[in-house]
């Protein structure tokens, strides 16, 4: 690309409320008939964790009309909710209280239910299908009422309830190209001028394990490109996104009209496409910069009608300030649980529970290295020791309260004696000083008999005060 283009994304996460669903769409591997309902107490814990990690929105996802199943009715009754809608309103409240914008992805609801959400501070994701596809063997054979007209009825209901929404186009599920492109064009005429429409998402078919269509090939890239161009014509001023974990040939897509990556669930993964890894901010940024495309973060809501609702004004002020700081610093330090040393979701990581190892500004933990971490036979690799000293000093700087977010500026390690494989090694690090935004720490590696094997010193540059992400 000759000129510099830009593309936005939202720092997001899913929370699954229940997979129980009364439909069984052929492309979906998400739905179940017997999944339990997440309690409000558990939701509060998860939302607080997302807030700590500085997410700006949370997508609450569920199957469609789970309340048709007795076990969900019982769960609602036992928790004191008269309906699934009342439960969802309480769910949204947990997010607003934690300064996160709630988004509901709960399938098609009836107009009366949509109306109930008008003061809940949420927005909705309405996913549209381009054709009926209800014949035997087709994608929507077992999905009652999932068709283009029901999608439009849903949009009308959201509009009547003054509920902001985003329109998702599920494509490549068996419709012809002509059906797909004319549906996009028609929907554009129908709602592009609606001030409650926030953005437009393309959800191109990719086979998902466990779904009826798991053996079908993904939609070819050329078809995705054409659909993006059609969306750009139909929705000339909106954010148009394709999930970057499904298709990431950015130069062609941007050329076709893509200007957004949508909600990137960096903290949770995508429960509807569990077989795809979510690229983190730094990976996306690096991929895009090679094509002269600038990546920046945006908030969930984009139109005045959505932003000016009294229920979300404080949350929007909070998320704006977070986003501004991240965009200005050019650094987006996200703890998505994949840290090599402490991340519980990193399959190749060490899984050391660093969070539990800090008291005040001292970090202490014991780790027994196996042979996989050796350099010479029986001796732990010096680079591995340096990594752990770096991590322990960083945690000491951040402290138990985690009010400082810092990155390593430099470290120095002195190796005094070889560290044996198979012996518990104690790592101790302490914050020893601070000058302006630089924090100084020292660390050591100690054998059970007290002898010191290595010592380190490090300088750590503070990035943000309050709102650390580790």
- Residues lying near ligand SF4 in the complex (CB under 6 A) are found at 21, 23-25, 28, 30-31, 63-64, 107, 143
**Closest Cα to residue 155, out of 87, 109, 106, 89?**
109
CB-nearer residue toward ligand SF4: 94 or 272: 272
| Residues whose CB is less than 8 angstroms from the CB of residue 345 and which lie 6 or more positions away in sequence, other chains included | 336, 337, 338
CB-nearer residue toward ligand SF4: 143 or 302: 143
CB-nearer residue toward ligand SF4: 276 or 296: 276
CB-nearer residue toward ligand SF4: 146 or 309: 146
CB-nearer residue toward ligand SF4: 9 or 245: 245
Taking the chain, what is the end-to-end CA distance rounded to the nearest angstrom? Answer: 37
| Residues whose CB is less than 8 angstroms from the CB of residue 182 and which lie 6 or more positions away in sequence, other chains included | none
Write down the least CB distance from residue 170 to ligand SF4, Å.
8
**Closest Cα to residue 44, out of 83, 102, 85?**
102
- Helix, strand or coil, per DSSP, at residue 225: helix
Write down the least CB distance from residue 443 to ligand SF4, Å.
49
Write down the least CB distance from residue 31 to ligand SF4, Å.
4
CB-nearer residue toward ligand SF4: 23 or 134: 23
Write down the least CB distance from residue 143 to ligand SF4, Å.
6
| 148 close to 130: Cβ distance less than 8 angstroms | yes
**Closest Cα to residue 125, out of 100, 155, 153?**
155
Write down the least CB distance from residue 107 to ligand SF4, Å.
5
Write down the least CB distance from residue 28 to ligand SF4, Å.
3
Token pair for 165: 């929404």
Region for 439 from its dihedrals, namely left if φ exceeds 0, alpha if ψ lies in -120 to 50, beta otherwise: beta
Could you give the CA distance from residue 405 to residue 411 in angstroms, rounded to a whole number?
A: 17
**Closest Cα to residue 14, out of 115, 142, 106?**
106
Could you give the CA distance from residue 251 to residue 288 in angstroms, rounded to a whole number?
A: 8
CB-nearer residue toward ligand SF4: 66 or 244: 66
Could you give the CA distance from residue 35 to residue 71 in angstroms, rounded to a whole number?
A: 9
Could you give the CA distance from residue 13 to residue 267 in angstroms, rounded to a whole number?
A: 5
Task: Give the H/E segment covering residue 263.
Answer: strand 260-264
| Residues whose CB is less than 8 angstroms from the CB of residue 426 and which lie 6 or more positions away in sequence, other chains included | 364, 365, 366, 445, 446, 447, 448
CB-nearer residue toward ligand SF4: 273 or 459: 273
CB-nearer residue toward ligand SF4: 128 or 425: 128
Write down the least CB distance from residue 191 to ligand SF4, Å.
21
Write down the least CB distance from residue 266 to ligand SF4, Å.
22
Could you give the CA distance from residue 280 to residue 176 in angstroms, rounded to a whole number?
A: 34
Write down the least CB distance from residue 264 to ligand SF4, Å.
20
């Amino acid at each position: 690309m000759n000129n510099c283009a830009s593309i936005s994304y939202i720092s997001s996460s899913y929370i699954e409320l229940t997979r129980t669903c009364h439909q069984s769409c052929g492309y979906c591997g998400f739905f179940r008939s017997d999944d339990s309902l997440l309690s409000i107490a558990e939701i509060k814990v998860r939302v607080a964790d997302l807030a700590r990690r500085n997410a700006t929105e949370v997508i609450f996802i569920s199957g469609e009309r789970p309340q048709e199943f007795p076990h969900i009715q019982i769960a609602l009754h036992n928790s004191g909710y008269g309906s699934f809608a009342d439960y969802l309103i309480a769910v949204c409240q947990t997010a607003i209280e934690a300064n996160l914008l709630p988004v509901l992805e709960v399938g098609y609801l009836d107009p009366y239910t949509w109306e109930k959400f008008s003061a809940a501070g949420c927005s909705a994701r309405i996913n549209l299908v381009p054709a009926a596809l209800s014949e035997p063997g087709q994608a929507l054979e077992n999905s009652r009422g999932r068709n283009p007209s029901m999608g439009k009825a849903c949009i009308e209901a959201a509009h009547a309830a003054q509920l902001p929404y985003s329109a998702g186009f599920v494509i490549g599920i068996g419709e012809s190209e002509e059906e797909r492109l004319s549906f996009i064009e028609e929907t554009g005429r129908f709602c592009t001028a609606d001030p409650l429409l926030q953005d437009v998402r393309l959800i191109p078919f990719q086979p998902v394990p466990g779904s009826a269509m798991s053996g079908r090939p993904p939609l070819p890239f050329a078809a995705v490109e054409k659909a993006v161009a059609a969306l750009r014509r139909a929705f000339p001023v909106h954010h148009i996104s394709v999930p970057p974990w499904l298709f990431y040939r950015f130069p062609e897509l941007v050329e076709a009209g893509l200007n957004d990556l949508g909600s990137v669930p960096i903290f949770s993964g995508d429960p509807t496409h569990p077989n795809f890894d979510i690229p983190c901010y730094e990976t996306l940024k690096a991929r895009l910069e090679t094509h002269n495309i600038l990546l920046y973060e945006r908030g969930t809501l984009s139109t005045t009608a959505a932003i000016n609702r009294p229920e979300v004004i404080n949350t929007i002020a909070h998320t704006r300030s977070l986003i501004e700081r991240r965009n200005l610093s050019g650094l987006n330090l996200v703890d998505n649980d994949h840290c090599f040393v402490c991340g519980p979701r990193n399959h190749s990581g060490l899984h050391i529970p660093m969070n539990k190892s800090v008291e005040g500004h001292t970090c202490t933990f014991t780790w027994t290295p196996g042979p996989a971490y050796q350099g010479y036979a029986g001796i732990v690799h010096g680079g591995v020791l340096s990594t752990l000293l770096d991590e322990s000093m960083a945690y000491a700087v951040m402290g138990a309260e985690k009010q400082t977010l810092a990155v390593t500026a430099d470290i120095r390690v002195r190796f005094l004696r070889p560290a044996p494989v198979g012996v518990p090694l104690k790592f101790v690090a302490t914050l020893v000083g601070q000058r302006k935004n630089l924090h100084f720490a020292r660390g050591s590696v100690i054998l059970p008999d007290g002898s010191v094997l290595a010592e380190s010193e490090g300088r750590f540059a503070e990035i943000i005060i309050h709102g650390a992400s580790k």
